[in-house]
Every structure is written in structure tokens, then in C-alpha cells.
């Protein structure tokens, strides 16, 4: 007989009755019911009930063991009587009559329960992550992660992609986030950087003659923590040569669709996977107020600036902003005339909580407009509103007035707030049990950075402008579009990518517009520039966030719930006590000295 087990804790059924078996696992729960001791034994596969009676010489020892101790049990499989069958357990028709037991490892008193969610906070769960990972829900999510990544690999290999591993220690580069720096002992005063993404390496692989690259790539960004962002994350990184934007979509879309479809029943409710038509960036910002819209929300935003700019409209609060170049965005809330006044008051309070003065609206009912600002809008202007927003009797329309970008962004979050305020079962409530994916395309190449008062890249700096060198030479920077695209799903950005710039002359010109001199360009990106000068194929790619895909499949709002080991929101590993101080001798070997500036405090 095997040293530890003949079966796992999920394997046995009533057909095994009478067999002598050996199981190993953790004590999940333990009960003493009137002289009969029941031990629920658990391994990663499942649970099995084991039994010993009071007259057994094993009873006293087994009674002393704590939950989460590790046992090896030998015993006979016994079929349970009809009234004691546990239909919630796969092994619920049998139990093991314990004949021998070996304590492999005893457990101290545990800081929180493993067999149930006892409300332990995130900090203590992360400090004792190895206990947290024993829980059924966590094991299920980690298995989901493993299965999704395995499926990704299988689907990419099936399309003749080659898998690469690119360097972890590399050079620092300005890619939109802070780098994690690693000091070099052999080169004092110099630093490596952990990669924000394998961007340059994968492009140089295309220049090396490899046609199709992919990698489940670790990436590192020193950004502030939040629920859908981590310092260390993984992405399905992809690059292809001699392709157009549509070629990339047609290649990767079946991969992503297949993953969502295969694992869409993880939460026990099968979800439909729908790809919506591609949306240009400007249209997304106008209609949804976001470049990652949740298309399960059927509400749309429209522009009604012209209505409020009319001479017969006397709403001065909006007129003053419009005269300074502002816009008015409007959101139609269909069929809400039967909603109580509190529906509108709560939305107004919500807007005030977001820093706005409120959320003005007009309700159209019985052929007339009603509400706080209706008196400022004469009938002719109200009719223009009806036409602009496709309003019907029973609809309300909410307004946001500001400069274009802040108006779009606030209208975007207001659109979601209005949808969420609609009652359960409303015709225009957010759809359930569906993944709605789409491509956001035609991103602007540049944007004006208000803080720095300069033109900068708006997205990926290595992208090809849609008009090539001609657009760079002849158009205003903010009017140039790039071959850039994002994939979004249910309000989350899943992927970002582009057709790359493969010509050094265009790269020099593009970076020059953003304020990078040729000298800086050579210093920061000399390796890739040199590779381009020896013949670079047209190429493009993208990267899908592995963790966000798993988060959506698990219906889990926090990325930390789909990793085995992870830091908290302050990027502290409470289990391993990182980051930590290091030995002075280590610093000396690196030529480093700690110089922490003390915080100034007011004198008492």
C-alpha cells in the first residue's frame, strides 16, 4: 500500500464499500456526537468523512487533534444508511471506519476558520495566505487561473505562435509608469529596471525574423495600488509580423472568445459571450464617457450644447460655461416617469458627493417638460432636446456641463449611476449574465498635457501614425490618429495594442513632436532604433491582462483574490514581510546609502 494514500478525498463512492483504503489530508472539521467521533478529512480534491467510536484505542488521540492538523488514515469504506447520506458531499454516501491513524503534522490554534468564511479581514488573510489558500473558494479560483493560462498556451500554439521568455532585468524606459529599479553591484551607480512590459524585446523579435511571438509575461509597474491594479501582474503578450490591425483582431479574438466561453460558467450561471462592433475612441467618449465602456448598460450620452446655446434658453449656469468653450452632455433615462421623487433626489445627491453642483434634469410626461430646470427651457428648445436625444413621453434627460474632457468623464460615471439607480427588472437596467467585448480603435496619437504644458503621447509611443510621415509633417499633433486599439469588456480594459512604427525616420519625427531630442531617443531606445536600421518588417501586437480576464470569469472585483500570493493595497507582502530593510553590508557592496528625509512636523 502507498505510503500516504490509495485514493484522494473525493474519489470514494458506495461501490468501494468493504475496501480497505488509505487517505491523507487536513482535518477540515471534527465532531464528537455522543461517543462517536467524526473527522472530515480534506485534500485539494474534496472531503471524506471518517468515523471512530469511543471504545476504539484511537479515540482519545484523535479527540486531541486540532483542525488543520495533517493525518494519514487507514480504514474500511462503509456505506452510509439512507438517513445519514450527505448529498452536499461527492463522497456523501460513504464513510471510513478508522482502523489506523498517523499524525503527520499537528496544527496550532488557527487565526481564522478554513472551513467557512468567518469574516477575517484582508490583512490577516494575506498574512496567513497559506491558510487562506486552503479554502474551497480560493482553491477554485487558483485552479481557474491555472486552467485559463493552460488554455491560452494551447490556443496560441495551435495558431503556430512561438513562446519566448524575455529578460526580467532590463533598462529603464519611459512607458507611462514608474519603473522598479534594481541596483547593479558590478556597475556601481547604475541600475537595471524590471520590465513594465516586454515591448521593445517583442518588437526586436519581429525584427529578428520570428513571425509570431507570445508570452505569459510578468510585468512590473510602481503605481499606486487599487482593486484592479497590482505592482506585479501577468499578460498574454502577442506580436505578429506583416499584419494589419484587422489581421490581429481576427487572430486573437477567437482565442479570447474561446476562453470566455469555456470558463463562462465558473460562477454556476452560464454567461453569454458577445462581441460588439468596434467603436472609435471619439465616439466612445461621446456616447459612453469612457474609452472602456460597459456595454451591458444600454444608456447613451449625447451632445446638446446647441440647445443650451440658443438665444431663447436662459439657463445662465450653462450659458457661462458654453461661452468659455464648454459643452453640455445629456443622458436619456427611458421610462422613468413612474419613479418616485426620491429617484431623482438620490441621483442629485450622488452627483454632489462626486464634487458636482448637482445633476439637473427634465422629465417629459403628459406632453410637457417638468423638473428643476424645465422653466428655463422654452417649448421650442424642449422639442429640440426631444429630437437630439430621441426622447419619448415618460423619459427623463440628465445634464452635465463642463469643458469637453471633464464633461465626458463625468457623464460617463453619471451614465452608470443612472443605470444602477433603475429598479430591478427595468427594461433598461444593466444586462446580466453576459460578457460584452469590443475593440476601441482610432486613438489620438498625441494629447496636450495640461500639467506639463506640452504635447505628449496619449497612448503607446511606439505606434504607427495612421497617415505615416505625411500626417506627422502636415497635421496638428492632436489631430493625428494612431493605429492603436484596446479591447474592453464590461467596463474593464482587457488589452491594449497597436500596429508598431517600424521606420526609424518616423520614430525620430514622432518622438520629436513629443519633445524627445535625437540624443535622448538614441540613449533611451538605441537598441530598437539600431534594429530598425537593418530592416524591420511591418508588425503589430497587443497584450491581454491575464489577471483581469480571470477576475471577470470569477466575478471577483479584486485582483488580489485571483492570485496565490500577493501584496496588499499598500504593496506590502505581510506574509514574507516585504519590503524590508537590508543589511548595511549589502548596501555597501552596492555603493548605496540610505538617506530618508524626515517629515517636518509643526512645533507644539
Q: What percent of the chain has pLDDT over 70?
A: 98
Helix, strand, or coil here: 564? coil
State the Cα–Cα distance between residues 427 and 55, nearest whole angstrom.
Answer: 66
Distances (CA, A) of 542 to 435, 491, 494: 20, 19, 10
- Please tell me the distance from the alpha carbon of residue 187 to that of residue 175, in angstroms, as a whole number: 24
Q: Give the gyration radius of the chain's Cα atoms.
A: 31
Q: Within a 13 Å sphere around the CA of 106, how many CA atoms are in the beta-carbon half?
A: 8
- Give the confidence band of 453 by pLDDT, cuts at 50, 70, 90: confident
Structure confidence by residue, pLDDT tens digits, 436-445: 999 999 999 9
**Residue 569: pLDDT band by 50, 70, 90 thresholds?**
confident
Nearest of 223, 244, 295, 273 to residue 488 by alpha carbon: 295
- Domain 14-105: which CATH class? mainly beta
Domain boundaries along the sequence of the chain: 14-105, 298-425
Q: What is the pLDDT of residue 437?
A: 98
What pLDDT is stored for residue 602 in this prediction? Answer: 47
User: Which of 415, 407, 395, 406 minimizes the C-alpha distance to 308?
Assistant: 407
Superfamily classification of domain 298-425: GAD-like domain (3.30.1360.30)
Confidence band, pLDDT 50/70/90 cuts, at residue 390: very high
pTM, two decimals, is 0.90
From first CA to last CA, the distance across the chain in angstroms is: 75
pLDDT digits (tens, 9 = 90+) for 28-84: 999 998 889 999 999 999 999 999 999 999 999 999 999 999 999 999 999 999 999
Q: Is the pLDDT of residue 588 over 80?
A: yes
Please enumerate in sequence order all residues whose Cβ is within 8 A of that of 417, keeping only pairs 6 or more positions apart, or say none. Answer: 347, 350, 351
Cell reading at 428: 433598461
In this predicted structure, which of 242-251, 461-470, 581-590 has the lowest mean pLDDT?
Answer: 581-590
- CA–CA separation, 370 and 365 (whole Å): 7
Name residue, grid cell 437630439.
388
Separation CA 497–CA 586 (nearest Å) = 40
DSSP 467: T
Collect contacts of 151-155 with beta carbons under 8 A, ≥24 apart. 151/258, 151/259, 151/262, 151/263, 152/216, 152/236, 152/255, 152/259, 152/546, 153/216, 155/254, 155/255, 155/258, 155/259
Amino acid at each position: 500500500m502507498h505510503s500516504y494514500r490509495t485514493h484522494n478525498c473525493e474519489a470514494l463512492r458506495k461501490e468501494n464499500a468493504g475496501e480497505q483504503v488509505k487517505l491523507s489530508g487536513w482535518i477540515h472539521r471534527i465532531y464528537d456526537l455522543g461517543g462517536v467521533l467524526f473527522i472530515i478529512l480534506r485534500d485539494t480534491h474534496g472531503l471524506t468523512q471518517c468515523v471512530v467510536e469511543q471504545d476504539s484505542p484511537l479515540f482519545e488521540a484523535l479527540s486531541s487533534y486540532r483542525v488543520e492538523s495533517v493525518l494519514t488514515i487507514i480504514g474500511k469504506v462503509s456505506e452510509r444508511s439512507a438517513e445519514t447520506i450527505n448529498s452536499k458531499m461527492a463522497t456523501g454516501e460513504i464513510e471510513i471506519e478508522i482502523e489506523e491513524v498517523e499524525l503527520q503534522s499537528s496544527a496550532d490554534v488557527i487565526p481564522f476558520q478554513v472551513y467557512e468564511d468567518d469574516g477575517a479581514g484582508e490583512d490577516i488573510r494575506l498574512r496567513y495566505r497559506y491558510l487562506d489558500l486552503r479554502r474551497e473558494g480560493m482553491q477554485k479560483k487558483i485552479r481557474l487561473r491555472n486552467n485559463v493560462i493552460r488554455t491560452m498556451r494551447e490556443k496560441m500554439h495551435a495558431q503556430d505562435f512561438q513562446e519566448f521568455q524575455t529578460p526580467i532585468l532590463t533598462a529603464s524606459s519611459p512607458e507611462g509608469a514608474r519603473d522598479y529599479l534594481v541596483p547593479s553591484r558590478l556597475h556601481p551607480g547604475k541600475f537595471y529596471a524590471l520590465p513594465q512590459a516586454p515591448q521593445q524585446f517583442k518588437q526586436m523579435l519581429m525584427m529578428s525574423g520570428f513571425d509570431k511571438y507570445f508570452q505569459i509575461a510578468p510585468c512590473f509597474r510602481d503605481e499606486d495600488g487599487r482593486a484592479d491594479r497590482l505592482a506585479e501582474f501577468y499578460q498574454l503578450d502577442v506580436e505578429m509580423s506583416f499584419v494589419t490591425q484587422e489581421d490581429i483582431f481576427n487572430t486573437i479574438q477567437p482565442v479570447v472568445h474561446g476562453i470566455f466561453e469555456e470558463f463562462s460558467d465558473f460562477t454556476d450561471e452560464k454567461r453569454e459571450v458577445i462581441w460588439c462592433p468596434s467603436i472609435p475612441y471619439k465616439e466612445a467618449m461621446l456616447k459612453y464617457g469612457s474609452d472602456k465602456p460597459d456595454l451591458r448598460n444600454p444608456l447613451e450620452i449625447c451632445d446638446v450644447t446647441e440647445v443650451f446655446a440658443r438665444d431663447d434658453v436662459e439657463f445662465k449656469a450653462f450659458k457661462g460655461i458654453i461661452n468659455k468653450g464648454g459643452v453640455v452632455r445629456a443622458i436619456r433615462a427611458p421610462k422613468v416617469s413612474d419613479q418616485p421623487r426620491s429617484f431623482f433626489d438620490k441621483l442629485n445627491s450622488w452627483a454632489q458627493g462626486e464634487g458636482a453642483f448637482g445633476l439637473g434634469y427634465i422629465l417629459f410626461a403628459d406632453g410637457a417638460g417638468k423638473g428643476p430646470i424645465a422653466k428655463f427651457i422654452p417649448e421650442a428648445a424642449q422639442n429640440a432636446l426631444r429630437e437630439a436625444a430621441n426622447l419619448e413621453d415618460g423619459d427623463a434627460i440628465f445634464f452635465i456641463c463642463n469643458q469637453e474632457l471633464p464633461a465626458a468623464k463625468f457623464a460617463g460615471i453619471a451614465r452608470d449611476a443612472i443605470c444602477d439607480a433603475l429598479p430591478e427588472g427595468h427594461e433598461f437596467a444593466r444586462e446580466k449574465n453576459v460578457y460584452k467585448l469590443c475593440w476601441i480603435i482610432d486613438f489620438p496619437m498625441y494629447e496636450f498635457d495640461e500639467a506639463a504644458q506640452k504635447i505628449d503621447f496619449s497612448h503607446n509611443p511606439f505606434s504607427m501614425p495612421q497617415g505615416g510621415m505625411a500626417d506627422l509633417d502636415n497635421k496638428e499633433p492632436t489631430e493625428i490618429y494612431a493605429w492603436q486599439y484596446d479591447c474592453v469588456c464590461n467596463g474593464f480594459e482587457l488589452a491594449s495594442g497597436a500596429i508598431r512604427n517600424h521606420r526609424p525616420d518616423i520614430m525620430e519625427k514622432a518622438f520629436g513632436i513629443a519633445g524627445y531630442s535625437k540624443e535622448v531617443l538614441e540613449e533611451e531606445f538605441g537598441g530598437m532604433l539600431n534594429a530598425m536600421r537593418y530592416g524591420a518588417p511591418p508588425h503589430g501586437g497587443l497584450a491581454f491582462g491575464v489577471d483581469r480576464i480571470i477576475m471577470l470569469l470569477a466575478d471577483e472585483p479584486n485582483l488580489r483574490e485571483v492570485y496565490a500570493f500577493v501584496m496588499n493595497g499598500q504593496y506590502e507582502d505581510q506574509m514574507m514581510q516585504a519590503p524590508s530593510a537590508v543589511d548595511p553590508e549589502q548596501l555597501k557592496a552596492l555603493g548605496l546609502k540610505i538617506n530618508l528625509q524626515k517629515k517636518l512636523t509643526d512645533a507644539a
